[in-house]
Structure 1
Amino acid sequence: MARSSSGIVAGLTVAAIAGVSFLAYQASASVPDTLGKADKSATPKASASKTPGGTTNPNALPTASGTGERVVYATANDRVWLVAANNKVQRTFEVTPGTVDPVAGTYAVTTRANAVTGSDGVQIEHVVRFTTVDGIAIGFSAALNGSTTAPDPAKKLGGIRESRKDGDAMWNFATVGVKVVVVQ
């Protein structure tokens, strides 16, 4: 009897996830074009540290990114850092952002999914979500086909694409509850 109850619960769970995904996709299609876009007229904030010689190093961890274990995502230069509890960078890599950016701030990983279909229709893996912007889920993922091409600007997409290798590193590092710091 427990076995058939589990099957029913699993089936209902799959149906619920499919329904929510469909509704999220529909909602994303009606979002205004300007939502989530950075104000191009605003003065950009520095997102890279200065090296001793005074040159900007785009790979340097942003100084205003907090402390402790965290994922740091710089929207200005589309780069991620995985930072250990001792504040040492374990890995840094470039990403391809979606069309909707999260606002600067501190978040936490809320949900993860091993493999799903992205809102752009691409099969993705190692999905690590940390916020939503007007109903659009924002998170990191890797396309199973390895693609990191820029998304269709006409669509409202919150997926931040990384290579499969970087996606594996993110998946192993960013468990539910891990801090995500978004900086400009």
Structure 2
Amino acid sequence: MNPTENRTLLMSGVGIVAAAILVVALVSGGSDTSTSPNDSTSTSSSSLVDSSLVDIEPVTTVPGTDSSTAPATDPVDITGEEPTSDEPCVLTVRSLAGGDTGPSVTCLQEALIVAGFLNSAATGVYDNATATAVEKLQTDRDLYVDGKTGRETALSLGVWPDEASLVIHTPPPAPGAVDLLGYELSSVATSGPDTPPLPPNSGSGRRLVYERAGQRIWAVGEDNVVIRSWLVSGSKYNNETPGSHAVYSRSDVSTAWNGKAFLYKMVRWLKTDIGAIGFHALPIHRSDNTPYQTDAELGTRLSGGCQRQANLDADFTWDFAQIGTPVIVI
């Protein structure tokens, strides 16, 4: 057979194959667009997925199943924000020390690693390596060195929770407004429907309730009715021991442990190694008789241990909190 005959035979074969493919396509009816989604005709697992449908959860291909399943896309949460693991963590407890465990310890350790004070992995256990790293940080940043993690240490690492969101500022009272006992209200005090509710598990009967997170005090009567509530400036440190206490000492005027301030109308409820902690009026510089802060700054932690009050609130506390008055600290 010569070359010309070979080419003729080859072209004839191609034509026959093409014709056969066309016949199969026409018989299968694959281009029919009248089929309803409800038809019982089964569809191939390789069919295109309607692009208007979105999975609530990302599709994941399971080994051994149909390999034609579309690969999962990055999940998007329902708020429209891309999920991320880069958001900074914060502590969910007020203090950490040796032997503590949990997510807050992990958060602390991760922050210490980033800051360059911890060389080991985050384990979630407050071990000797963690305590040593905390001591290094405290020394480096001129903090009180004890290897424990409280507010100041956590603040320096950026893992202390936002405090401002926990402080409730009530509208300033009208000039001359008074509480249920007739005492004049300060600019940060309230009595009546604007009063924030008492915290749960805050005792019963006549008492003072101090909530550290909200920097707020409630004076409660025998009938469990709130007489008055006001903002204070409590301790920057972790030395306000929570629990049930009682007023044990009072002074018209006292001095701060460092001798630099006058503390008027001091009502003491807690003893510490370096002095007493209690409620008092805004501290006054001994050097020039100026106040350490303003009423507008109340609600912010500014003291070394005591709870600073507006002068009108200190007047009320002085009369209300006699020796033995319960003080509930939360």
**Shift of residue 70, structure 1, vs aligned partner:** 0.5
CA shift, 1:82, in A, is: 0.6
Amino acid at match of 2:197: A
Counterpart of 2:319? 172
Secondary structure of 1:114 counterpart? strand
**How much does 1:58 deviate?**
8.0
CA shift for structure 1 position 74: 0.2
* 4+ residue runs over 6 A deviation: 33-36, 39-43
Measured in 1, the distance between the counterparts of 2:219 and 2:315 equals 12
Between the aligned partners of 1:86 and 1:58, the Cα distance in structure 2 is: 16
Q: What's the secondary structure of 2:317's corresponding residue?
A: helix
Structure-1-length-normalised TM-score: 0.63
Q: Is this contact kept in 2: 1:36–1:103, CA < 8 A?
A: no
Q: Structure 1's 163 and 42: CA in aligned 2 closer, same or farther, altered over 3 A?
A: closer
For the residue of structure 2 that corresponds to 1:76, the secondary structure is coil
Deviates more, 1:30-39 or 1:134-143: 30-39
Secondary structure at 1:123 match in 2? strand
2:246 match: 108
1:65 paired residue number:
202
Q: Aligned residues, how many?
A: 140
Instruction: Determine if contact 2:245/2:270 at 8 Å carries over to the other structure.
Output: yes
Report what 1:127 is aligned to: 266
Which letter maps to 2:315? D
Deviation at 1:60, TM superposition (A): 1.3
In 2, the alpha carbon distance for the partners of 1:36 and 1:106 equals: 24
Residue in structure 1 matched with residue 233 of structure 2 by the alignment: 96
Distance 1:134 1:36 in 2: 19
Supply the RMSD in Å over aligned alpha carbons. 3.3
Give TM-score, length-normalised by structure 2: 0.37
Structure having the larger proportion of residues in strand: 1
CA distance 1:81–1:171, shift in 2 (3 Å): same
Residue identity (%): 29
Q: CA deviation at 1:63?
A: 2.0
Cα pair 1:136 1:158 within 8 Å, conserved: no
Contact 1:98-1:159 at 8 Å conserved across structures: yes
Q: For structure 1, which runs of at least 5 residues remain unmatched after alignment?
A: 1-29, 49-56
How far apart in 1 are the matches of 2:281 and 2:206? Answer: 22
Identify the residue that residue 37 of structure 1 maps to in structure 2: 150
Indicate how the Cα distance of structure 1 residues 164 and 137 shifts in structure 2: closer, same or farther if over 3 A, else same.
same
Inter-CA distance 159–86: structure 2 relative to 1 (3 Å threshold): same
Higher RCO (C-alpha under 8 Å, 6+ residues apart): 1
